[in-house]
Amino acid sequence: MKMGFRWFGKEQDSVTLEQIRQIPGMDGVVTSLMDIPVGEVWPLERLKSLKQQVNDHGLQLEVIESVNIHEDIKLGLNTRDKYIQAYIETMDNLAQIGVKVICYNFMPVLDWVRTELAKPLEDGSTTMAYKDEYVYKINPQDLAAHVDEQTHGFDLPGWEPERLKEMSAAIDMYKNVSEQQYWDNIKYFLDSVIPYAEKYDIKLAIHPDDPPWPIFGLPRVITDRENIQKFLNLNNSPYNGLTLCTGSLGANRQNDIPSIIREFGSQGRIHFAHVRNLKFESGRDFYESAHLSRCGSLDIFEIVKAFYDIKFDGYIRPDHGRMIWGEKGRLGYGLYDRALGATYIQGLWEAIDKLHFSTDIAEINL
């Protein structure tokens, strides 16, 4: 595996490349151009400069999050082709700087949803949390305002100010879009861009819906094993694949994450992974815990072992972390807890590898 760390750019992140470089075992960063409006081409010169910044600190830039999908594409409007063309041009530019994977999502209007961004935990840390009842009692625009009040001045991916302002109007546009039409719109996008992904040698890795169930009546489709297989069947190219996010899929208690990793990893369709833990409360409620297995409800050992068993040689990054040790920064994306997560994941991988090697030697000696 190749270990990466999400970084939002010099002007957008409280975490620096100097700090990321000091995390043991860190190969590269996963980044983006946060200020480019959705649907516009990412300029090649900006990308070259970004790559140079990263390389100058001894890190690689091979994974990008997120080249967001314009809402007109998701809605299947007549204007979608111009935005798809812009997407293809961005892919071309990314290929020219050596990018190998693009992580994106097809979630309508909202990306990930949390109802609390700084829930206090018993150990004094704070974390992001989700309460299902709160979502069903509040209207979309009030939720947007509620989230905006908690951001500490940092734009959160998927919750950019321009998107928040138009949330209610955007949701209304989906009232006449059936789930089947939504699947059709995904296929249209894939069939348009995958030939260029193959040409540019960039793998597309869709991120699961977060949380993996409908919000405000909007379609949520990348939610479980059955729907993941349906998605992959829309276009059978190996360049059409997944970002396996353990926290997003793991929020559904019915999802067996290690089994999902083995099934789709063995098909060569997992191109990128976000590894994090969460702690279930009542019903669908949860909060994001430390990565350590005993701190949450997911078995991170079994998850890492599943990646090891499929001989995963792609990109992994620690996902959302708590805010610990008094750190101030982008909620969910501080330095310290994610750095702990990165070293924990690598520690598990090393232990599994050495146990596997010892077993092989023992079998040979027999």
- For residue 206, give the nearest of 237, 177, 232 by alpha carbon: 232
The model carries a pTM of: 0.92
pLDDT band at residue 327 using 50, 70 and 90 as cut-offs = very high
Q: What is the DSSP letter of 216?
A: T
Name the average pLDDT for the chain: 92
Q: What mean pLDDT do residues 69-94 have?
A: 97
Q: How confident is the model at residue 172 (pLDDT cuts 50, 70, 90)?
A: confident
- pLDDT given at position 336: 98
* Confidence at residue 163, expressed as pLDDT on a 0 to 100 scale: 62
pLDDT band at 157 (very low <50, low <70, confident <90, very high): low
Q: Which is higher by pLDDT, 301 or 155?
A: 301
pLDDT, mean of residues 244-273? 97
Are 3 and 319 within 8 A, CB to CB? no
> How far is Cα 342 from Cα 199, in angstroms, rounded to an integer?
33
DSSP of 83-144:
HHHHHHHHHHHHHHTT--EEEE---SS--S--SEEEEE-TTS-EEEEE-HHHHHHS-HHHHH
Would the pLDDT of 364 be above 60?
Answer: no
Length of the chain measured in residues:
366
222: tokens are 């990348």
User: What pLDDT score was predicted for residue 109?
Assistant: 87
How buried is 230 (Cβ within 10 angstroms: 0-12 exposed, 13-18 middle, 19+ buried)?
middle
Q: pLDDT higher for 356 or 262?
A: 262
The alpha-helical segments, DSSP class H, found in 201-289 are 225-234, 246-250, 257-265
pLDDT value of residue 47: 98
Over residues 37-47, the mean pLDDT reads 96
**pLDDT class of 361 with cuts at 50, 70, 90:** low
Question: Which of 105, 120, 136 is closest to 221 using CA atoms?
Answer: 105
> Contact at 8 Å (CB) between 291 and 300?
yes
Terminal Cα-to-Cα distance of the chain (whole angstroms): 31
Average pLDDT over residues 10-26: 96
- Between CA 120 and CA 129 the distance in angstroms is 10
Using DSSP, state whether 203 is helix, strand or coil: strand
Instruction: State how far the Cα of 357 lies from the Cα of 275, in Å rounded to an integer.
Output: 24
Three-state DSSP state, 308: helix
Cα 72 from Cα 260, distance rounded (Å): 31
Name the percent of the chain lying above pLDDT 70. Answer: 92
> What secondary structure letter does DSSP report for 23?
S
Positions annotated as catalytic residues are 207, 245, 274, 319-320, 333
Pairing of the two strands 126-130 and 116-120: antiparallel
